Structure 1
Amino acid sequence: MLVTVEDIRKRFESNPFFLHIGFEIIQFEEGKVTIKLNIEEYLLNVNGTLHGGVHATMLDTILGMVTRSVTKAKVVTTNLTVHYLASISGGEIFAEAKVLQEGHKLAFTEGEIKDTKGNTIAKGIGTFKLIRDERK
C-alpha cells in the first residue's frame, strides 16, 4: 500500500502524545513541515522557562515528521543533538526541519525552533533509521 503525505499527517494529528504536548500542524507537505506550540504553564521548568525536554521533544518530532514526509517510511530516532540557544517563558514557538541526506537505511535531518519574532530558540540534528516495507 502506497503511503501518502496526507496519511502521515493524519497519523501525527491523531497521535495521543502529539496531542498531549499541544503541538499543532501548520504546514505538512513533502519536505516542508511546520508545527506550532503554545507555551503553557505545565511546560515550564522550575526557572519559569520552557523545559529543555520540550525543546528536545519538539525537535525530535519535527525532524521525524519531515523525514517521514520525504521517505514515506516509518522512522526511528537513533541520535538527537539539541543546542539550546535562548530561553522563553510564554507565547508561541514554531519548528521547521529539512532532510540533509537520505540513504536507504538512514536519513540525516536538521531543524530549529523559533519564536514569533524569528529568534532562534533551539537547533537540532538527528539521525533516523528508516523502516521500509521491502515487499514493494
Structure 2
Amino acid sequence: MPNTIEDIREKFKDNPFFSHIGFEIVHFEEGNVKIKLDIKEYLLNINGTLHGGVHATMLDYILGMVTRSVTKAKVVTTNLTVHYLSSISEGEIFAEAKVLQQGYKLAFTEGEIKDSQGNILAKGIGTFKLVRDK
C-alpha cells in the first residue's frame, strides 16, 4: 500500500481514537503538521482544567504524525516526555512538532501545545521506532 502524505493524513484523520478525543488536522504536509482541539467539559480534570493525559495524547499524536510525514514509515512511540507549563480550561489549543534527528531505525522529535494566543501550555519530546515495510 502506498505511503503518500495524503494516505498518511487520511489514516490519522480516520483514526477512531483521534476523532473521539476531538482532534482536528489543521495542516498536514511533509515535516509541517498542525492539529487543534476544542476543549470540551468531558476533557477536564477535577480541578476544571484540561487533563494532563489529553496534553500527553496530543503530543504523542503530533510527534508521531510529523515523524511519519517525514519518514513515510509506520512509527511506534518508545519514549515520551511531557513538560506541563500552564493550565487551560476553555478555548482551542494547537500542537506542532519537528523532527530533530532521524536515523534508519529511530527518530527524535519535539513539539509544543499552545493556546490561541500563542502561550505555550506543554512541551514534549519523543523517541520513535521506525517500522519499515519488508
Give the TM interval when normalised to the shorter protein: over 0.9
* Structure 1: segments with no counterpart, 5+ residues: none
Question: Which residue is equivalent to 2:3?
Answer: 3
Residue 2 of structure 1, CA deviation: 3.5
Deviation at 1:68, TM superposition (A): 0.3
Which secondary structure state, in structure 2, belongs to the residue aligned with residue 58 of structure 1?
Answer: helix
Deviation at 1:133, TM superposition (A): 1.3
Q: Which residue of 2 aligns with 1:58?
A: 58
**Correspondence list, 1:8-87, <5 A:** 8-87=8-87
- Distance of 2:13 and 2:26 partners within structure 1: 11
SS for the counterpart of 1:113 is: strand
Displacement after TM superposition at 1:3 (Å): 1.1
Secondary structure, aligned partner of 1:67: helix
Calculate the aligned-residue CA RMSD, in Å: 0.6
Deviations 1:26-45 (A, max 9, x none): 00000000000000000000
Paired letter, 2:27: Q
Matched, 1:123 2:123: yes
- The percent of aligned pairs where both chains have the same amino acid is 81
Secondary structure of 1:37's match?
A: strand
Name the SS for the 1:33 alignment partner.
strand
TM-score (norm 2): 0.99
Opposite residue 22 of structure 1, the aligned amino acid is G
Name the counterpart of 2:97: 97
Distance 1:12 1:60 in 2: 12
d(CA) in 1 for partners of 2:2, 2:54:
33
- The alignment's TM-score, normalised by the length of structure 1, stands at 0.97
Runs of 4+ in structure 1 deviating by more than 4 angstroms, as ranges, are none
Cα distance between partner residues in 1 of 2:2 and 2:89: 42
The Cα shift of 1:79 comes to: 0.1
